[in-house]
Structure 1
Amino acid sequence: MHQTAATSHGSPDKALRPWEDGRWSFPSVIPNTTIHTSFATAPNNLRRPLRLRESVGLIGTLSIVGGSLGVVAVLMFLALLWFGHGPVIDGAQANQVWRPITLSSVTLRLIVSTQSAVCTSMIAALFLESRSVRRALVPWFSVMRGINDGPWKLLELVASSRSFTAFRSFEMWLTLLMIIVTLGLQFSSTILLSDLSELQIVGDTNTTQVNSLIPSLEPNTTIYITSSFVLEMPPIYPTFGEAQNMFSADPTSDGLSNTGLIQRALLPASSDSDRMAVRKYDGNAIILNSQVACMRPNISVRFKPTPFPYYDRLGWVVEGELNYDMTFQNAKIDPGSFCSTGKCDGLPFNCKVPVAHLGWQSTMCIIDGQVVEYRQDNFDPRWNSSSYPWSRNSSIALILATNINRKNIPDQYFYPEEAPYEEWNSYEFPPDGFINITLCFTVFNLERYHVNMMALGELQDHTTPFTPLITPKVDTTGLQNLMGVNKPQKNHKARGILDMQILGPPDDGPPSSLANMILQTDVYGQKPLKSYTTLMFEESLIIQFLVGFLANISILLCLDCTGVSAIQIDIGLAGFLNDVIEQTGRPANALLTLITVAWSKIYYAYLDSLTTLQDAQITMVIKVPAPGPCSTNGCRGFIAVTTLASVHLMYVAIITALYIRRIRFSRHGNIWHTISQLATHELEETLDISNDMGDEPVAKVSGKETMNNLVKLGRLEGSGRIEVIRIPESNNSSEPKRSLFQRLRESISARKGSNRQE
Structure 2
Amino acid sequence: MYPEHESDEARHPSEHVPSEEKSFLASDKSTLPKRRRSALDAIGPLQLVTLVTSSISLFGSVIFLSALWKTSISVSSGQGAPELWQTLVDRKWIVRAVTISSVVIRISVAVQVGLVTPMIASLLLERAGTRVGGLPMLSVMRSVTSSPHQLIGNSLHQLRRKTSLPFLCLALVALLTSTVLQFASTILLSDFGDQSLQGRAISTNVTFGLNRLNMRSSLILDLNNTDDRAGAIDPYSGVNYWKSSPSTYPRFAEWHQPAGAEEGVADTGLTYRAFLPFSSSDTRRSLRNFTGVATVLDFRTVCVRPNLTIQGAWLVNDDLLALDGFAEWEIEYSMLSHWPKPVPRTNLTSGFITKTFFNCTVPLDSSRIRSMGFWRITLCRTSDATYLKAPQGGLKSLPFLTNSYILINSTGSEEQWIDAGDFTDWKASSNGSWTSLSAERLDSNPSSFSATMCFINPSPSNYDVNIWATTDGIEPSLTWDPTTRQFNTDAVRRLYDSLDPQSTREQRGILTLDNHANWTAQLADPKLNVSTLDFVWAATLRGFETNNADYPTDGGGALLTPWSDRVAQGIHRAHIALFQHVIRSTHNPALALQTLFTVVTQSAYYDFLPQFDVEAPGLYTVSAVANIPYQGTGLTIVVAILAIHALVVGATTTLFLVGTNVSMLGNAWQAVAQVVRLVDRDILEDASLMRDKNVLGILKSSGRAGKVVKVS
Query: SS at 1:664's partner residue?
Result: coil
| Partner AA of 2:560 in structure 1 | L
Pair 1:285 & 2:281 matched: no
Equivalent position of 2:95 in the other structure: 98
Among 452, 474, 492, which residue is 2:466 paired with? 452
| Partner AA of 1:116 in structure 2 | V
1:699–1:609 distance in 2 versus 1, CA, 3 Å: farther
Pair 1:112 & 2:102 matched: no
The answer as to whether partners of 2:336 and 2:389 remain within 8 angstroms in 1 is no
Equivalent position of 2:190 in the other structure: 194
Among 429, 433, 437, which residue is 1:423 paired with? 433
Equivalent position of 1:573 in the other structure: 575
Structure 1 residue 597 displacement after superposition? 0.9
TM-score, normalisation: structure 2: 0.73
Equivalent position of 1:587 in the other structure: 589
| Partner AA of 2:295 in structure 1 | I
Query: SS at 1:264's partner residue?
Result: strand
Equivalent position of 1:439 in the other structure: 453
The answer as to whether partners of 2:131 and 2:705 remain within 8 angstroms in 1 is no
Once the two structures are superposed, residues 268-289 of structure 1 have per-residue CA deviations (whole angstroms, 9 ceiling, x without a partner) of 2223332222221111111123
Among 244, 251, 254, which residue is 1:239 paired with? 251
Structure 1 residue 452 displacement after superposition? 0.5
The answer as to whether partners of 2:299 and 2:458 remain within 8 angstroms in 1 is yes
Structure 1 residue 561 displacement after superposition? 4.9
Pairing 1:209-608 to 2, within 5 Å after superposition: 209-214=205-210, 217=214, 219=229, 220-222=231-233, 224=235, 226-235=237-246, 236-244=248-256, 246-248=257-259, 252-253=262-263, 255-301=264-310, 304=313, 306=315, 308=317, 314-322=318-326, 326-329=328-331, 335-339=337-341, 347=357, 349-355=359-365, 357-369=371-383, 392-404=400-412, 409-410=417-418, 413-415=421-423, 416-429=426-439, 430=444, 434-455=448-469, 457-467=470-480, 469-473=482-486, 476=489, 478-485=491-498, 488-501=501-514, 520=529, 530-532=530-532, 534-546=533-545, 551-558=554-561, 560-562=562-564, 565=567, 567-608=569-610
The answer as to whether partners of 2:50 and 2:111 remain within 8 angstroms in 1 is no
Query: SS at 1:438's partner residue?
Result: strand
The answer as to whether partners of 1:293 and 1:390 remain within 8 angstroms in 2 is no
How many residues are aligned here? 625
| Larger deviation, residues 473-482 vs 258-267 | 473-482
1:365–1:334 distance in 2 versus 1, CA, 3 Å: closer
Query: SS at 2:107's partner residue?
Result: helix
RMSD over equivalenced CA pairs, Å: 4.7
1:442–1:84 distance in 2 versus 1, CA, 3 Å: closer
Tell me, in whole angstroms, the C-alpha distance in 2 between the residues paired with 1:271 and 1:124: 69
Tell me, in whole angstroms, the C-alpha distance in 2 between the residues paired with 1:59 and 1:387: 70
Tell me, in whole angstroms, the C-alpha distance in 1 between the residues paired with 2:590 and 2:105: 62
| Partner AA of 2:21 in structure 1 | T
Tell me, in whole angstroms, the C-alpha distance in 1 between the residues paired with 2:315 and 2:454: 25
Pairing 1:141-156 to 2, within 5 Å after superposition: 141-148=138-145, 150-151=147-148, 154=151
| Partner AA of 1:576 in structure 2 | L
Once the two structures are superposed, residues 557-601 of structure 1 have per-residue CA deviations (whole angstroms, 9 ceiling, x without a partner) of 34x454884533332331221232233232122222222111222
Tell me, in whole angstroms, the C-alpha distance in 2 between the residues paired with 1:288 and 1:190: 52
The answer as to whether partners of 1:304 and 1:414 remain within 8 angstroms in 2 is no
Once the two structures are superposed, residues 412-445 of structure 1 have per-residue CA deviations (whole angstroms, 9 ceiling, x without a partner) of 6552222122221112245556421112222221
| Partner AA of 2:321 in structure 1 | V
| Partner AA of 1:230 in structure 2 | Y
| Larger deviation, residues 420-429 vs 346-355 | 346-355
Query: SS at 1:229's partner residue?
Result: coil
Tell me, in whole angstroms, the C-alpha distance in 2 between the residues paired with 1:502 and 1:180: 58
Pairing 1:58-207 to 2, within 5 Å after superposition: 58-59=48-49, 62=52, 73=63, 76-77=66-67, 80=70, 87-88=77-78, 91-92=81-82, 93-94=85-86, 95=89, 96-129=93-126, 130-132=128-130, 141-148=138-145, 150-151=147-148, 154=151, 158=153, 164-165=157-158, 170=165, 171=167, 174-175=170-171, 177-207=173-203
Pair 1:705 & 2:695 matched: yes
1:683–1:87 distance in 2 versus 1, CA, 3 Å: farther
| Partner AA of 1:397 in structure 2 | Y
Structure 1 residue 52 displacement after superposition? 5.6
Tell me, in whole angstroms, the C-alpha distance in 2 between the residues paired with 1:570 and 1:461: 23
Structure 1 residue 34 displacement after superposition? 4.2
Pairing 1:680-719 to 2, within 5 Å after superposition: 680=677, 682=679, 698=688, 700=690, 704-705=694-695
TM-score, normalisation: structure 1: 0.69
Equivalent position of 2:6 in the other structure: none
Structure 1 residue 448 displacement after superposition? 1.0
The answer as to whether partners of 1:360 and 1:402 remain within 8 angstroms in 2 is no
| Partner AA of 2:559 in structure 1 | L
The answer as to whether partners of 2:275 and 2:295 remain within 8 angstroms in 1 is yes
Tell me, in whole angstroms, the C-alpha distance in 1 between the residues paired with 2:577 and 2:491: 14
| Partner AA of 1:499 in structure 2 | T
Tell me, in whole angstroms, the C-alpha distance in 2 between the residues paired with 1:468 and 1:55: 80
Query: SS at 2:462's partner residue?
Result: strand
The answer as to whether partners of 2:296 and 2:461 remain within 8 angstroms in 1 is yes
Determine what percentage of the aligned residue pairs are the same residue.
20
The answer as to whether partners of 1:301 and 1:318 remain within 8 angstroms in 2 is no
1:705–1:498 distance in 2 versus 1, CA, 3 Å: closer
Query: SS at 1:268's partner residue?
Result: coil
The answer as to whether partners of 2:525 and 2:531 remain within 8 angstroms in 1 is no
The answer as to whether partners of 2:330 and 2:354 remain within 8 angstroms in 1 is no
Query: SS at 1:119's partner residue?
Result: helix
Tell me, in whole angstroms, the C-alpha distance in 1 between the residues paired with 2:576 and 2:547: 19
The answer as to whether partners of 1:200 and 1:622 remain within 8 angstroms in 2 is yes
The answer as to whether partners of 1:249 and 1:259 remain within 8 angstroms in 2 is no
Query: SS at 1:238's partner residue?
Result: coil
Equivalent position of 1:13 in the other structure: none
Tell me, in whole angstroms, the C-alpha distance in 1 between the residues paired with 2:481 and 2:61: 60
Structure 1 residue 306 displacement after superposition? 2.6
Tell me, in whole angstroms, the C-alpha distance in 2 between the residues paired with 1:496 and 1:281: 16
The answer as to whether partners of 2:338 and 2:354 remain within 8 angstroms in 1 is no
Structure 1 residue 116 displacement after superposition? 0.8
| Partner AA of 2:319 in structure 1 | G
1:454–1:330 distance in 2 versus 1, CA, 3 Å: closer
The answer as to whether partners of 1:336 and 1:388 remain within 8 angstroms in 2 is no
Structure 1 gap ranges (5+): 3-28, 37-48, 309-313, 373-380, 521-529, 690-696, 711-726, 735-758
Equivalent position of 1:615 in the other structure: 617
Query: SS at 2:460's partner residue?
Result: strand
Tell me, in whole angstroms, the C-alpha distance in 2 between the residues paired with 1:150 and 1:507: 74
Tell me, in whole angstroms, the C-alpha distance in 2 between the residues paired with 1:666 and 1:450: 77
| Partner AA of 2:207 in structure 1 | N
Tell me, in whole angstroms, the C-alpha distance in 2 between the residues paired with 1:699 and 1:284: 91
| Partner AA of 1:401 in structure 2 | N
Equivalent position of 1:11 in the other structure: none
Structure 1 residue 267 displacement after superposition? 1.6
Structure 1 residue 351 displacement after superposition? 2.7
Equivalent position of 1:527 in the other structure: none
Structure 1 residue 330 displacement after superposition? 7.5
